[in-house]
């Protein structure tokens, strides 16, 4: 009798699961513009779809950082009007933070920003934007004014279909605003994200993934020409801040960093740069390579 009772529940659960998965898959595909949307362009070649580890077949080693952020599925479709070819790739990430994260890791400071979705950047060959759980890459091999205009048009079509914008990771709001270079903020969730911004060590001292932490980098520029990165880390437990800091100090000592001063803020020297570290509650703030100690101090004092 018990078995009989269990079956209907399991079946309903399985049906709900498969129907949801099916609908979700279809929904992503619906985000791609149709022929009528993009006239005179029309889809060219087959739709490429990569789920979970299938992403390796699309970008091989480049996939690892997507997995670190949290990747679900990607679709890629090419469009052509006979003269111009444009491809749209939509990555469905695990959550909004992951979508912003991979976008922030791939955009480059100084590129022209455009208001599409949460934010986008555009150049001759590429347009990137993030919105809700999606990271969208639009590319062309025929650069020019028309290509750029068409890429923007297609991006707006995809953005409209996604609808909701979503919110960037809350840790970004904790980055000091003064002297920050706009568009330099990068959200990270693990070793690859960190090491692509600043190489600490292959032995990751922060272990964000394992400890459920998160981090944000940003670049700061001063009138005296000084330019450096700030790395802000937030853990869910205060103890993890101490553990990460002790691992970082051990690595830096091995690398030849010299600790010059230790008060509330620790000052380290390495070559010509100052490295400042402050821990406060669940936060760890690190200034990386300021040439002027005072500039570093100014920024780190504004950190949590």
Q: Which of 110, 163, 212, 281 binds another protein (CB under 8 A)?
A: 110
Restricted to residues 194-213, the positions that interact with another protein (CB under 8 A) are 195-196, 199, 202
| Contact stretch for another protein (CB under 8 A) within 163-171, 188-196, 270-278, 289-297 | 188-196
Instruction: Please give the size of the binding site for another protein, defined by CB under 8 A.
Output: 28
Other Cβ atoms less than 10 A from the Cβ of 242: the count is 13
Closest approach of Cβ 261 to another protein, in Å? 26
Could you say which residues in the range 33-92 bind another protein, by CB under 8 A?
53, 56-65
> For residues 182 and 172, what is the distance between their CA atoms, to the nearest angstrom?
12
Confirm if 291 and 228 have CB atoms less than 8 A apart: yes
What whole-number distance in Å separates Cα of residue 7 and Cα of residue 291? 68
Q: Decide whether 27 or 124 has the Cβ nearer to another protein.
A: 124
Strands (E), 34-123: 42-51, 71-80, 85-93, 112-114, 119-122
Q: In whole angstroms, how close is the CB of 208 to another protein at the nearest point?
A: 16
Give the whole-angstrom CA distance, residue 160 versus residue 268.
49
DSSP state of 180: B
Answer for which of 49, 94, 111, 269 binds another protein (CB under 8 A) is 111
The whole-angstrom separation of Cα 61 and Cα 66 is 10
Task: Give residue 167's Cα distance to chain centre.
Answer: 13
Residues 120-159, interacting with another protein (CB under 8 A): 123-126, 137, 139, 141
For tokens 């079509």, what's the residue?
157
Q: Which stretch binds another protein (CB under 8 A): 117-125, 177-185, 227-235, 240-248?
A: 117-125
Q: How far is the CB of 80 from another protein (least distance, A)?
A: 13
Return residues touching another protein (CB under 8 A).
Answer: 53, 56-65, 105-106, 108, 110-111, 123-126, 137, 139, 141, 192, 195-196, 199, 202
């Amino acid at each position: 009798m018990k078995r009989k009772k269990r079956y209907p529940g399991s079946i309903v659960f399985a049906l709900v699961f498969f129907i949801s998965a099916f609908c979700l898959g279809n929904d992503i595909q619906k985000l791609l513009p149709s022929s009528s949307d993009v006239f005179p362009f029309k889809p060219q070649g087959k739709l490429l779809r990569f789920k979970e580890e299938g992403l390796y077949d699309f970008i091989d080693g480049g996939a690892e950082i997507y997995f670190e952020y949290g990747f679900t599925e990607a679709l890629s479709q090419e469009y052509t009007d006979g003269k111009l070819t444009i491809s749209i790739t939509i990555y469905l990430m695990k959550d909004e933070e992951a979508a912003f994260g991979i976008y922030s890791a791939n955009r480059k400071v100084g590129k022209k920003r455009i208001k599409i979705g949460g934010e986008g950047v555009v150049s001759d060959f590429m347009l990137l934007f993030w919105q809700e759980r999606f990271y969208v890459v639009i590319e062309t091999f025929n650069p020019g004014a028309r290509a750029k205009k068409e890429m923007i048009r297609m991006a707006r079509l995809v953005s409209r279909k996604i609808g909701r914008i979503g919110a960037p990771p809350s840790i970004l709001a904790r980055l000091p605003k003064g002297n920050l270079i706009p568009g330099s903020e990068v959200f990270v969730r693990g070793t690859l994200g960190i090491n692509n911004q600043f190489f600490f060590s292959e032995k990751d001292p922060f272990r964000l993934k394992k400890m459920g932490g998160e981090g944000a980098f940003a670049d700061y520029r001063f009138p005296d020409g000084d330019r450096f990165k700030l790395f802000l880390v937030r853990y869910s437990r205060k103890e993890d801040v101490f553990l990460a800091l002790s691992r970082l100090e051990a690595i830096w000592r091995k690398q030849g960093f010299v600790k010059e001063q230790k008060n509330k803020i620790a000052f380290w020297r390495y070559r010509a740069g100052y490295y400042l570290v402050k821990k406060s509650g669940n936060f760890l703030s690190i200034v990386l390579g300021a040439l002027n100690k005072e500039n570093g101090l100014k920024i780190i004092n504004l950190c949590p």
